[in-house]
Amino acid sequence: MPTIKQLVFSQFIQIPTNWCWAATSASIANVYAPGTTTPCGVASKVCNTECCPETMNPNPCDCPKPLEDAFAQTGNLAQPAQCGGSATFPAIQNEIDNHRVVAVAIQWANKSYHFITIYGYQINDDQSLQLFVGDPQTGKSDPPVPYNNVVRNYRQEGTWCCTYLTQGNGNYVPPFVAQPAELVLQNLVSSRLQTLSSTKVLFPNPEIDTTNLLIPLYLLSFSSLKKNCRIKLKPLGNRVVGTDDSGTHFIADVDGALPTHSFNAIIREQSIIEKHHRSLRQLKQKQVANGEYRIQILSQPSLNIEALWLHYSTNVVRDKFLLMRKNWNFKEGKLYSRKTFISILRKMAAQEVPVTNPVVGG
């Protein structure tokens, strides 16, 4: 049996584009003092202005910040950040065993930064090492992420560059959760995968059930967005959109072919799932020229981009994209042509990210 230690942890999702620092610090503050902190509460103190509600558009506090600024408000930073590489697995294990979560700065391919939280670990029978990660863009990792992937291939493009040890402010000791019982849900996802795999999701189709789909996933290489470079895509597997036996919605990202697929993530944060369903509903309402498009998903983590992709197999010039995550470079709910979409991404990729000390994340 694997050894599993997982602290009780709830992950806030960053609503404004650049709020990973606010969502991460608030999530960590609530580990040590449950129910006391929100991202917009932290942001309001850091920015010294009213940042609530999070959904105000534009939000005056939507800008990258050092995690230290947020921890100065919550009091959860145990010592100065350790930058220049990753922490060892035994060091993380020691923190979790002593009821302390660990914050991490990830550097993306474009040299920008993103903050996440490690709230548990797993040592498998074959001695492979995994970490439970809370990410304000994607939610809690389920199943855990291989340690080596967090170190140098986080979400395909990220590298662990700074470690923040944390502490509580009182006598409350964060508890461990009972051993996760994910096998039932994984079996359910596998059965959905079997059922949905024989059907391509074609568009336009007014009969599409946006809550039960199998959608191919692709990574858009950041390096290929450089000027005059050919666009490079990497298949990442499939996204299963479904409901469990109680009617609760879930999203699962899987790689590999049937029946040997493995799980990359099972997402159950309802705010993420509802945003996903809303994007699919928006797409369903769009008017496009006649033709059979296949619905796919395109991801570019360094730019915090995830988009629904209408792919026209015989003529890629006709491809269209609908953004699924808020980004100020795009209009929400707008269907973009391939030419325009890639052009905007190239401009984003060309922007210089300033070197800062301390590290600034968004």
Within-domain flag for 362: no
Question: Do 223 and 141 belong to one domain?
Answer: no
How do beta strands 213-220 and 293-300 pair? Answer: parallel
| Structural domain includes residue 201 | yes
Average pLDDT over residues 216-225: 95
Q: Would residue 359 count as lying in a domain?
A: no
CATH of the domain at 39: 3.90.70.10
* 61-110 pLDDT, tens digit each: 999 999 999 999 999 999 999 999 999 999 999 999 999 999 999 999 99
Q: How many domains does the chain have?
A: 2
pLDDT in tens, 229-283: 899 999 999 888 887 777 778 888 888 655 566 778 888 788 888 888 899 888 8
User: 294-327: per-residue pLDDT in tens?
Assistant: 899 999 999 999 999 999 888 888 999 999 988 8
Residue 265 CA to residue 189 CA, distance in Å, equals: 11
**Residue type at 56?**
M
- Is 80 exceeded by the pLDDT of residue 37? yes
Does residue 123 sit in the same domain as residue 82? yes
141 vs 167, higher pLDDT = 167
Domain endpoint, select from 139, 162, 180: 180
Is position 356 within any domain? no
Q: Are residues 218 and 338 in the same domain?
A: yes
Residues 128 and 261 in one domain: no
Q: Which of 180, 199, 218 is the last residue of a domain?
A: 180
Residues 240, 140 within the same domain: no
For residue 361, is it within any domain? no
Q: Which domain holds residue 220?
A: 183-350
Q: Is residue 357 part of a domain?
A: no
In a domain, 325, yes or no: yes
Domain boundary among 146, 180, 214: 180
Instruction: pLDDT band for 142, please (50, 70, 90 cuts).
Output: confident
Q: Note the pTM of the prediction, 2 decimals.
A: 0.89
Instruction: Please compute, for residue 361, the number of CA atoms within 13 A of its CA located in the half-sphere on the CB side.
Output: 30
- Which uninterrupted H or E stretch holds 329? none
